[in-house]
Chain A
Amino acid sequence: MTTTLDTAAAASTRSGRRHLLSVADLDHAQIRTILDTAAEMHGVQQREVKKLPTLRGRTVVNLFFEDSTRTRSSFELAGKWLSADVINISGKGSSTSKGESLRDTVLTVAAMGVDALVIRHSASGAAHQVSQWVDAHVINAGDGTHEHPTQALLDAYTMERRLGSLEGRHVAIVGDLTHSRVVRSNLLCLRTLGARVTLVAPPTLMPAGIGSWAAADGFELSNDLDAVLPTADAVMMLRVQRERMSGGFFPTAREYTVGYGLTRDRLNALMAANPDAVICHPGPMNRGLEIAADAADGAQSLILDQVSAGVAVRMSVLYHLLAGEEGQQ
Chain B
Amino acid sequence: MRPDSGVPDGASSGGGPLPTSPTGAPTSTDGPASASTVPAGAPARAVMSSADVSRALRRIAHEILERNKGADDLVVLGIPTRGVALAKRLVAVMEEVEGRPVPVGALDVTMHRDDLRRQPTRSPMHTDIPATGIDERVVVLVDDVLYSGRTVRAALDALSDLGRPRAVRLAVLVDRGHRDLPIRADHVGKNLPTSSSERVQVRLEEHDGVADEVRIAGGEPR
Contacts and interface: CB of A to CB of B under 8 A. Distances in A.
Interface of A: 3-7, 28-30, 32-33, 36-37, 40-41, 43-44, 47, 49, 51-54, 82, 319-320, 323-328
Interface stretch (B19-27, B177-185, B203-211): B19-27
Contacts of B162: 47, 49
B202 to A, nearest CB: 23
B126 interface: yes
Contact of B28 (A4, A43, A52, A320): A4
Nearest to B33: A327
Given A5-B120, A327-B120, A327-B121, A40 B157 contact: no
A173 B33 CA distance: 43
Interface of chain B, helix or strand or loop or mixed? loop
A32 B162 CA distance: 27
Contacts of A82: 111
A327 B161 contact: no
Contact of B22 (A36, A52, A54): A36
B101 interface: no
A326 B118 contact: yes
Given A5-B27, A7-B26, A40 B117 contact: no
Given A32-B21, A36-B123, A327 B28 contact: no
Given A40-B127, A49-B162, A29 B121 contact: no
Contact of A33 (B111, B123, B161): B123
Nearest to B18: A5
B29 to A, nearest CB: 7
Given A54-B112, A327-B117, 18 more contacts: A3-B120, A6-B26, A29-B23, A30-B26, A33-B21, A40-B124, A40-B126, A41-B124, A43-B127, A47-B162, A49-B162, A319-B111, A319-B121, A323-B116, A323-B121, A324-B119, A324-B122, A326-B118
Interface of B: 21-23, 25-29, 33, 108, 111-112, 116-127, 157, 161-162
Interface centre among B21, B118, B125, B127 (most CB of A within 10 A): B21
Contacts of B108: 40
Contacts of A32: 21-23, 25
29 contacts: A4-B26, A4-B28, A4-B120, A5-B28, A5-B121, A7-B123, A30-B25, A32-B25, A33-B23, A33-B26, A36-B21, A36-B123, A40-B108, A40-B125, A40-B126, A40-B127, A47-B162, A51-B161, A52-B111, A52-B161, A53-B157, A54-B111, A319-B111, A323-B121, A324-B116, A326-B117, A326-B118, A327-B118, A327-B121
